[in-house]
Structure 1
Amino acid sequence: MNFVLTACCFAATLYFSHPAAAQISSSYVEADRMAPFRNGFAKIIDKGQVYYINVQGEKIELAETTPVGFNDAYSVQDYQREINDEADFLPKTVLKSLKNGKIGIISPKGDILLAADYDDIDIEYRQFWKVKRNGKVSLFLADKTFLPYFEDIGYLDGEYFDVKQNGKWYLYSKSQNKVTTSQGYDAFDYCGGCGNGSTYVYAQQNGKWGVMDWNEKVLVPFKYEHAHWNMRSDKWVASFSKNGQPLIIHIPSKREFIDAKIVTGVLLVKENNKYGVYGQDGDLKIPFDFDNIELPNDNSYLGYYGDYLLTTKQHKKGISDLSGAVIIPNEYDEIKVYDDYFVVKKEQKSYLMDKTRKVLFEVENGEITHVNDYFYSSGSNNLATFKIKKGAYYGLYFASTNTYLEPQYYKIDLFKFKNNEPKKQYIITEKNKISSLFDQDGHLLLSDFEGISELYDAPENLMTFIKNGQMGIYDLDTRKEIIPPVYDSFIMGKFGNRNLIKANNVRKKEADDMDNQSSDLYDLEGKKILQIAIQRIDTIGVKYCLIKDIKGKYLLINMDNMELQEFDYQSVYPINNPNLLLVSKDDKTGVLYDIKTKKEFKGAYSLTYVKEGYLPQDPGKETVILPYKGDMALLYNEKGYGYINNMGKVIVSPKYVWAFDFRGDAAMVCQSENSDSRASVFKMGFIDKKGALIFPLIYDLTNSRLNHEESVFINNSVFLPKVNGYEYLYGLGDLNSGKEVLSVEYTQIRALQNGTYFLLQKNNKFGISDSKGNIIVPIEFEEILFDAPTFFDSSSDTKQEVFPLLVYRDGVWKYIDEKGNYLKIQ
């Protein structure tokens, strides 16, 4: 972190002043530097040496530079994810620390994972860290245990380790806590990446390699060369050679094979230009009768999954399993394998067979392929559906139900809705731009449609489809068309407390206005909620919905019991209140209507704002009501702004030049000379929800800051500004007590730690107070620096501790804590 650029000093309330910046001292920008604290740590550069200190002033020095950043937000996030999600491994997002010449390990957020007691620590691997001390080596394991110290040590399988003593290597057992081999060896090697743990280890003795088990029983004699590649953990050794000649050894029989390779766990061997296969037990499974043996569909993306081998004999193909059993005799020109199904071709005929060699389907002068051509080696997920091609047309064969559809389609695709679960896969066919949908068993779900798609925000079982240019909804679970295709569009949404589907038709095709729509409401089972077509619907709170039908009639529906209430009004409008509506008999002037009591409140209000979305430029005597914000709403007429509560009681009759929505239990209000709404400076104060003044209108607000009234509030405090000649002075008010906790005498006040503390400036000096006005750091410093990663004076401002603060006075930078004590470093 380049703290010269990111640290912030001095401040005023956001949008409230733009004073000259306090100058950063030259002592700060020289080689010796002190950064503000962030998340409990501060960066120090001392004569070119970089280190960190914690809030106690204790030194944290890093041993090396790495991509992992200390006290870096991204590194901390990665480290925490590793701790939570990968608890069986050691974290990799860590750093080496240095103390008194010794190495330790710390997390990016400063946690000590290994104390700095070691000469070096290798943290390359996640299963262990290799630690060195006094010329000896040990391993710190992921389960937080240490092994004894040896000359050197290596990780094998987590239970066994190879350890070096007196120049020789031995096996060490963690559970037995001892060396288990009776003699020393030149080296060990182990297939740690073989998945299933191996029951043996490669060992070197007198310069030659062999294989032995964990009890030191020799499985393969020590007479081979070895390279760390192609290692295995089964019955075969493929990394040995003899006199430079690579070979494969069968461990139980110790038999050597040349000109051989391992495929799917068995050994493919070539002798006298013929191929055979040996199994894991060392027995010959497939005799040397074949011109070639290979994996089916080898190097192809068109299928194959399972333990099968493709054999070739006199140019004819066959299939055998790994036990040597003949699945398909060598009678065919081509063979493709799709899991446990086989497509074979002889002359002009193609056959689909299962693993019992039963012919399920055959076609002449055609092709048979799996419906999912591209499932690679991962298998078809039990999707036993095949495409049958004859000429330019495709048909389908569903092996699970022996269902055949004659070739008649131009295109066949696999279709998935919202996820990749195998059971959610469907088959879609297309001919002349008309499609049909089938399940995996060949059952026809939907036919003669032009398109299908997911319904946004709806459950996975619902999809939209188009027939004759109109949309409907189909339920994949019930396999039924639940909404007929007679609509232009659908919207899935929350209406009141219910998830419903709004089905829309545009009545005037050239219009894009919501009022030109005719809509029906359906539940998720396709039941129509209302028997009337609606023009629009608005949610009122979570319990009600206001509906306007296509005849202009207004209705209120209770979403709990679906009861309908009809209104005898020309217009009804939501007013952003769960219990109130604005009703009108002439669509010009309205009254507030209480939904629960079904009664009108006293008072009449212009509908200008709820209808048009803006206030009249020349207000008259009629009072305009604005939408509620919480339990209060603003009123407006020629006299100014006032307030009404959600019981319909006018709390403040319109009288303020400017008034703003309540924030919590307080709102800011303004007056000006001659009630001029365009005045350059207004008198500002605060009222409560009874209309009483919390702070009188004696404070100043300039016209340019009317749009930033939210910056005045910080928790239960408000900034109180006054104009003093050409500058602003600020105080701080407590909304709970209505008192000035900081008098209006400061040239700057800025909230720190989300309003827990405030940075103050007075007479070009800086200090800190708490939210109650108590001075925590005296106002006598030339500069104060603190970390500022986010916007100031906002609800999103950081809540991290800002103390200790970096303060500057008389040419010296120091750290000071919230008790006024200084850390030793300066």
Structure 2
Amino acid sequence: MFAPGHLCLQILYMKYRLLASCFLLLSLSASAQRKFEAGSRYVQGFARVVNQGQSSYIDSTGKIAFDTVYNDRSLSDTWADTDSIYLPQDILQVGLKGKQGVMTVLGKWILLPEYDTIDTHSPEQWIVKKDHKVSLYTPKGFLLPFRFEDSNQLDSITFAVKEKGKWGLYNKNKDELIIPYTYEDIDYCYGCTTRGNYIFAQKNGKWGVVSFQNEVLVPFEYDHEHMNMRSDEWIESLYKNNQKMSINLKTKKVEIDTCECLPGEDVSSLDTQLGPFTGQRRNGKWGLVNKAGKLILDHVYDDINYYNDSTALIGIVRNEKYGLADTTGRIVVPLAFGSWFEPMCGNEVFQSEKNGKEVIFDKNGKQILAQYSGFHEMVMENGSRMLAIIQGKLYGFYNPATGKIVPPKYTSLSYYGDPKFLNVGMGDKYGYIDKDGNTVVPPIYDYVDLHAVPRNEQLVKISLKDKIGLFDIKQQKVILPVVYDYISTYDDSTVMMVTKNGLSGVYDFNGKMLAPVKYRDVVPFDSLYTLLQPKDTGKAEILNKRTHVLYKLPFDTAFVAYEGRLMLVWQQGKSFLYDIDKKQRVEGDYSKGGFPEYMGYFSNHRAIVVKNQKFGYIDGKGNYVVQPKYDYISSFHKGVAAVYECLDTAARIYRYGYIDSTGKEIVPVIYDVPQELVQKYSEEAFFGDDDSEILTLMKNNGKKGIAGLNGRIIVPVNFDRISPEKHGRGYLVTLDEKFGLLDVNGREIVKPVYDRIMLDDIEGYDGRVGYNFPVMMKQENADWTYLDERGKSIGVSVAEYIDFSTLDWGAPAGVPVEVPPPPVPLPAEGN
């Protein structure tokens, strides 16, 4: 038990401890709120902050993520690598306290900044050092433990590794050295398509070849360069006494390579594989041996050119004269030409030159087309090949498939656009011919459109002096004279509309007139019917495109209703639907008590009607989808329409709400249409753009709210301005010239008490803005603060705004927009 005096002391001591704890908490809180001289907005999850002229970059929690940028990319770049085969090259290489890391330009970490160095030049693997040890990083992760001074990958499991200045081989699967640290240097054919099972190794200053089992295959007595590298039994990169050697690992035969050329992958430079043949070099001259080992071309040629397996000819050259031999060694074209013979037209012909003139030989070694001077290969749309013949300024062609020669007589020759025909010109007139030179469309027209009629390759549009006609390829005649201003065809139709001097008519594809050129308009219903509107007063007509029968409608004014086979008829102040198939009016709810005064075209199987000066909607059967009880009704937007009631006709005062596609009121008609919208109606003010999922609610006091397409109130009508965030992050709102933020469900996350906000994008025509969390906001006479998705400070404030990018780091990150509040609360169209 304490004495009374001691009890008072104990109470005072406890109060002191409690106050000390409170001061400690306040101190901790104050220290957690870090202040910087300047800061930027967030870009891809990071913001730049500056103190004493030094930049750092903080993440979304306010923690410093990196303080150095090593390359010239920017987080503002919107494109990034998506190829999973290779490592990304559009990366940001950064550092923190001297350590390096890598992230994508979209702000996603690849390697955290905890490594000494990262070499990112290779798209296949990065060389990463940590604590003076090296590993290799690939899209699948690190290949090696950080255990070696240096390393190079030979294959999927074998690595050349270095420790204490010596090289050995490491097997990843076994996690052991298969060749100890023995050699001064190691080389390997990294680029060979077939992986080798040996290395080039240096010992006591000389190079040899060592197997993966550490067996010496070639003694250490050579010099070496990383040239002519191979992975088979031939060694072509070792030198001795300044002479290049050719060594066979199987036979152990060592030759001095006098050729010193660059051989193919799988053959010695002294014995070159040429398809099924072997090229042999003897005494500096080439010969050719077949598969049976028989010499078919003597060793007398300066070079031999094997084209491919499908070509029966072989190029040969001696003393700069070129010729051709066949696969038996027979000379089919003598050595008399000035360049290699080049195969053309799918190896059907061969081209060379002699005395400056081009020559053409066929695959049998026979010269053809000797009377012409120039040639050019043509590849048709279907891949077939022909040879254009050029003589002066005229063109013809040779078809190797048929042997057909079309002599040069055309001023132009084009083989693009059609697999069967060629476009030809005679002066300034054009037509078409086939691959045998037969006339398809005579070249007498200003323009020829070969594919103008859908699904009908027989008909061609022809043009002369800005007039159009139709030519039938099969009949070889003009079936519509070249007198029309316009010819129109339709994918689902068997007829075409022609227009002349502002009037239209209809013809079938045989050129037969179905309706004379006397109508003001021709409107197709579908594949069966077409509506013909008369030039002046008179009855509209219906053309049956199958029977070719014209049927005159019993009405003066009729239009395509764009719903099935229905006509929209206006007659004597009334509107109704007319069924073409049944040839009768469509009865329904809309006809009871008299037809409506007005009816619009159908859209999404609904048509607006006005009956007794009230608006509604009907379906194709004439039944009401929305009863005509509103003073106005909008079009449907994603299944929702705005409906209006007039409170004062003279003053033009309206209230509005919203209905769904069944006519049910999902938002009651209690909201006010502002006078500026009454004067200039715009549906966007109620629905936003085509992609908008919100409905705008407005009151005459200037306040706004938002409802969803289901009618649920998302934002009550409490704010002066509401701007959706363009990426769906929520809403920017203003109230009494102060900014606040709401989440996507309309819940308040930042009270409207801030005077300024930093946006990525200001409000556009669609009423949307752009911002990223954490977002920068500022109250008057206070620092900028960063607020997260919950509206909470991340513990960082800055005195001034700066740009995200520094001057020495790539391009600017875009233009951020500081938004002060409007001087007066103005409504924003679309919100």
Partner in structure 2 of residue 554 of structure 1: 541
Q: Aligned in 2, Cα 1:173/1:650: closer, same or farther, shift over 3 Å?
A: closer
Q: Aligned in 2, Cα 1:458/1:486: closer, same or farther, shift over 3 Å?
A: same
Q: Does residue 685 of the first structure (1) align with residue 656 of the second (2)?
A: yes
Partner residue of 1:667 out of 642, 645, 649? 642
Q: Aligned in 2, Cα 1:691/1:257: closer, same or farther, shift over 3 Å?
A: closer
Which amino acid is the alignment partner of residue 73 of structure 2?
V
Q: Does residue 761 of the first structure (1) align with residue 734 of the second (2)?
A: yes
Within-5 A mapping of 1:160-559: 160-174=158-172, 177-181=175-179, 184-193=182-191, 195=193, 197=195, 201-209=199-207, 224-228=222-226, 231=229, 247=244, 249=246, 251=248, 253-258=253-258, 260-262=260-262, 275-276=285-286, 287-290=298-301, 292-293=302-303, 310-313=315-318, 316-319=321-324, 325=329, 328=332, 330-334=334-338, 336-338=341-343, 340=347, 341-343=349-351, 353=361, 357=364, 359=366, 362-367=368-373, 369=375, 371-372=377-378, 383=384, 385-387=386-388, 396-401=397-402, 403-405=403-405, 407=407, 409-410=409-410, 413=413, 415-417=415-417, 424=419, 433=429, 435-439=431-435, 442=436, 446=440, 448-449=442-443, 453=449, 455=451, 464=460, 466=462, 491=488, 493=490, 498=492, 500=493, 503-506=496-499, 508=500, 511=501, 513=502, 516-520=503-507, 538=523, 546-548=530-532, 554-555=541-542
Cα distance in 1 for partners of 2:286, 2:371 equals 34
Cα distance in 2 for partners of 1:675, 1:28 equals 62
The question of whether the paired residues in 2 share the 8 Å contact of 1:684 and 1:698 is answered with yes
Cα distance in 2 for partners of 1:118, 1:366 equals 70
Superposition deviation, residue 153 in structure 1: 0.9
Within-5 A mapping of 1:698-717: 698=672, 700-702=674-676, 706-713=680-687, 715-717=693-695
Cα distance in 2 for partners of 1:62, 1:562 equals 80
The question of whether the paired residues in 2 share the 8 Å contact of 1:159 and 1:173 is answered with yes
Cα distance in 1 for partners of 2:734, 2:310 equals 75
The question of whether the paired residues in 1 share the 8 Å contact of 2:505 and 2:522 is answered with no
Q: Aligned in 2, Cα 1:775/1:797: closer, same or farther, shift over 3 Å?
A: closer
The Cα offsets for residues 239-284 of structure 1, whole Å up to 9 and x where unpaired, read as 6655556x47465654233355347776699999964368999999
Partner in structure 2 of residue 154 of structure 1: 152
Cα distance in 2 for partners of 1:407, 1:146 equals 66
Q: Aligned in 2, Cα 1:388/1:93: closer, same or farther, shift over 3 Å?
A: closer
Find the residue that maps to 1:161 and give its secondary structure: strand
Which amino acid is the alignment partner of residue 386 of structure 2?
T
The Cα offsets for residues 469-525 of structure 1, whole Å up to 9 and x where unpaired, read as 8665889xxx9999967676665655xxx4x5764533x3xx3x3xx2334466xxx
Which amino acid is the alignment partner of residue 342 of structure 1?
F
Superposition deviation, residue 137 in structure 1: 0.7
Q: Does residue 51 of the first structure (1) align with residue 57 of the second (2)?
A: yes
Cα distance in 1 for partners of 2:677, 2:488 equals 43
Superposition deviation, residue 45 in structure 1: 0.9
Please give the TM-score of this superposition, normalised by the length of structure 1: 0.68
Q: Aligned in 2, Cα 1:665/1:363: closer, same or farther, shift over 3 Å?
A: closer
The Cα offsets for residues 400-458 of structure 1, whole Å up to 9 and x where unpaired, read as 34x3335253367462337xxxxx4765555665654334xx58583535565563796
Partner in structure 2 of residue 23 of structure 1: none
Q: Does residue 695 of the first structure (1) align with residue 638 of the second (2)?
A: no
How many percent of aligned residue pairs carry the same amino acid? 19
Find the residue that maps to 1:712 and give its secondary structure: helix
The Cα offsets for residues 308-351 of structure 1, whole Å up to 9 and x where unpaired, read as 76434467532358x99455453434563215443578899998
Cα distance in 2 for partners of 1:380, 1:453 equals 16
Cα distance in 1 for partners of 2:522, 2:634 equals 29
The question of whether the paired residues in 1 share the 8 Å contact of 2:322 and 2:341 is answered with no
CA RMSD of the aligned region, Å?
5.6
The Cα offsets for residues 161-197 of structure 1, whole Å up to 9 and x where unpaired, read as 3222331223444455544446733333444445555
Moved more, 479-488 or 408-417: 479-488
Partner residue of 1:144 out of 141, 144, 147? 141
Which amino acid is the alignment partner of residue 38 of structure 2?
D
Find the residue that maps to 1:126 and give its secondary structure: coil
Find the residue that maps to 2:100 and give its secondary structure: strand
Q: Aligned in 2, Cα 1:695/1:343: closer, same or farther, shift over 3 Å?
A: closer
Cα distance in 1 for partners of 2:303, 2:411 equals 35
Superposition deviation, residue 720 in structure 1: 1.0
Q: Aligned in 2, Cα 1:330/1:697: closer, same or farther, shift over 3 Å?
A: closer
Structure 1 portions without partners, runs of 5+: 1-26, 298-302, 419-423, 606-621
Superposition deviation, residue 132 in structure 1: 1.0
Which amino acid is the alignment partner of residue 165 of structure 2?
G
Structure 2 portions without partners, runs of 5+: 1-32, 273-278, 798-831
Which amino acid is the alignment partner of residue 721 of structure 2?
Q
Find the residue that maps to 2:350 and give its secondary structure: strand
The question of whether the paired residues in 2 share the 8 Å contact of 1:579 and 1:595 is answered with yes
Q: Aligned in 2, Cα 1:675/1:145: closer, same or farther, shift over 3 Å?
A: same
Cα distance in 2 for partners of 1:217, 1:324 equals 45
Cα distance in 1 for partners of 2:198, 2:374 equals 46
Number of matched pairs: 716
Superposition deviation, residue 650 in structure 1: 10
Which amino acid is the alignment partner of residue 446 of structure 1?
V
Which has the larger Rg? 2
Find the residue that maps to 2:740 and give its secondary structure: strand
Q: Aligned in 2, Cα 1:736/1:237: closer, same or farther, shift over 3 Å?
A: closer
Find the residue that maps to 1:184 and give its secondary structure: strand
Cα distance in 2 for partners of 1:579, 1:785 equals 56
The question of whether the paired residues in 2 share the 8 Å contact of 1:344 and 1:351 is answered with yes
Cα distance in 1 for partners of 2:241, 2:456 equals 63
Cα distance in 2 for partners of 1:330, 1:286 equals 14
The Cα offsets for residues 8-67 of structure 1, whole Å up to 9 and x where unpaired, read as xxxxxxxxxxxxxxxxxxx9998322525x66x24141423231323x555532652434
Partner residue of 1:750 out of 707, 713, 723? 723
